[in-house]
């Protein structure tokens, strides 16, 4: 059973585009269906965290809006941070799903109990992921992942008699 979904941000929760104005202010595009997917996932009892390789105030703002409290923004090496989150929450790797889009997500996807790549991820990541989404990052892929986890967890609960 998955108890935590950890997401990369740029290219997974967004389309990977970064918009900068002439003063260096940044904007990112997030898909509302992904946000609803995360809300539904949290409602089902699964926690959500993000680990972003690039620091961004836009990421901080969107995660606050989505009530995601575990936000690691501007991380160099993601796997040690993922392991630290797991340890702090008392979770085994089998209880964690990780989703990303690029080579800096490979170690996390391989380590997690369920590893996801968005369809427009780099080939190396898609090659080691357990699942590849049908939708692009920033265009509903995270919602697809959330629905898959919810469905899988419900099946697990039915098999163990947790929901009847």
CATH number for the domain spanning 131: value is 3.40.50.1000
Q: Which residues pair with 20 in a beta bridge?
A: 26
- Match 């995270």 to its residue by tokens: 142
Range of the domain at 128: 4-160
pLDDT 10s per residue in the chain (164 long)?
999 999 999 999 999 999 999 998 899 999 999 999 999 999 999 999 999 999 999 999 999 999 999 999 999 999 999 999 999 999 999 999 999 999 999 999 999 999 999 999 999 999 999 999 999 999 999 999 999 999 999 866 545 445 43
Phi, psi of 96 (to 5 degrees): -120, 135
pTM for the full model?
0.93
The structural domain count of the chain equals 1
């Amino acid at each position: 059973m998955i108890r935590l979904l950890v997401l990369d941000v740029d290219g997974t929760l967004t389309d990977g585009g970064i918009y900068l104005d002439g003063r260096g202010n940044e904007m990112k595009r997030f898909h509302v269906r992904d946000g609803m997917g995360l809300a539904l996932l949290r409602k089902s009892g699964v926690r959500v965290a993000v680990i972003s390789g690039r620091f961004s105030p836009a990421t901080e703002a969107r995660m606050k809006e989505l009530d995601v409290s575990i936000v690691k923004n501007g991380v160099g090496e993601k796997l040690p941070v993922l392991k630290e989150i797991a340890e702090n929450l008392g979770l085994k790797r089998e209880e964690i799903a990780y989703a990303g889009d690029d080579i800096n997500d490979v170690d996390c996807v391989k380590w997690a109990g369920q590893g996801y790549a968005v369809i427009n991820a780099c080939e190396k990541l898609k090659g080691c992921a357990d699942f590849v989404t049908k939708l692009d990052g920033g265009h509903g892929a995270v919602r697809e992942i959330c629905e898959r986890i919810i469905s899988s967890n419900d099946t697990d609960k039915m098999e163990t008699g947790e929901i009847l």
